[in-house]
Amino acid sequence: MNTLSGQPADNQQLPEQELNLFVFRSGSETYAADPELVQEVVAAGEPTAIPFVPDWVEGVVSVRGKIVPVIDLVGFFGLESTTTYNRKRLILFAVDGVEFGLWSEQVLGIKSYPAGLSETPLSTLPATLQECLQSQLRHQEVLVYILDMNKLLEKSRQQVAS
């Protein structure tokens, strides 16, 4: 706690030096999101399938009485994942009052990154992924895609509607 008490002083000297992100792995990629948007992480069971939706909408689950749609991020971004990943954790997001779940293989938790690591995403990435990206950063040899959850919600809605 003593170390923590010293931190605000550092922050004042170098304002917005640290970037707190919620980091998780899905498929073979590592993603990050604003921790404010993450509601809860649960160990959910099999989702109930629903008709007339794209493949990447895997169905709905019930979490504490709420019905939440579950999105397979690998399928949505059209990333080629030869091995089916382990759907171990379901991360529940709440964006503009809309709740939805993303599957994760491993939740790395909340990580602090030094600011200034952001890079411009490569133009060779799949179109959907590129559009939903806020930026990307590289830390300790790991490439982390920082997702813009508003855009992701918007994009997924468009695609479901079409």
Partner 1 sequence: MKNPFHKWSIRWKMAAGFSLVLFLSVTVLLTYFIGKQRHALKSGLEARVTTVANMLSWSLVILVDAAAVTGDVKPIEEVIESARQDSQLVGIRVENASGTRLAGFDDKALTGTDTNSHFKTTRFTDDLLLLNMPIRKDDNNIGVLRMGYSLAGLHSEQRQLLLTGLGIGLVTLLAGILLAFAIGHRISRPLVRMTSTFKRMAEGDLNQQPVRESGADEIGFLARAFNELLQQLKDLSQLAQAISQGDLTHTIKTKGDLADAFRRMTASIVEITSSFNQMAARMDSRISEILTTAKEQEAGAAQQAAAVTEVTSTMEELAATARQISQNAESVTSSAEEASRAVTDGREALFAFVKSMNSIETGNKTISDNIVGLNRHVQQIRGIIDIINDIADRSDLLALNAALEGTKAGEAGKGFLLVAAEMRRLSENVFNSTAEIKQLITEVTEATNATVMANESGLRATQEGTERAAEAEQAFGRIVETIEETSRAAKQISLATQQQHTGTDQIVSAMGEVANVSQQWLNGIRSTTQAVSELSTTAAQLRQLVSRYRLGSE
The token pair that represents 70 in the structure block? 């579950």
Quote the least distance from Cβ 48 to partner 1, whole Å.
22
Rank residues 83 and 112 by Cβ distance to partner 1 and give the closer one.
112
- Is 86 an interacting residue with respect to partner 1 (CB under 8 A)? no
CA distances from 64 to 89, 90, 135 (A): 16, 14, 33
Distance CA 2, CA 98 (A): 39
- Is 149 an interacting residue with respect to partner 1 (CB under 8 A)? no
Sheet containing 142-147: which strands, arranged edge to edge?
106-114, 18-26, 29-33, 142-147, 133-139, 118-119
Select the residue interacting with partner 1 from 26, 70, 89, 147 (CB under 8 A).
Answer: 89
Quote the least distance from Cβ 7 to partner 1, whole Å.
8
- From the CB of residue 107, how many other CB atoms can be counted at a distance below 10 Å? 17
Rank residues 18 and 154 by Cβ distance to partner 1 and give the closer one.
18
Quote the least distance from Cβ 35 to partner 1, whole Å.
4
CA distances from 76 to 38, 63, 100, 103, 122 (A): 19, 22, 14, 12, 18
Rank residues 35 and 126 by Cβ distance to partner 1 and give the closer one.
35
The token pair that represents 151 in the structure block? 């855009």
Residue span 29-68 as binding mask against partner 1, x where in contact by CB under 8 A, dash where not? ------xx-xxxxxx-------------------------
**What are the residues binding partner 1 (CB under 8 A)?**
1, 4, 8, 20, 22, 35-36, 38-43, 89, 107, 109-110
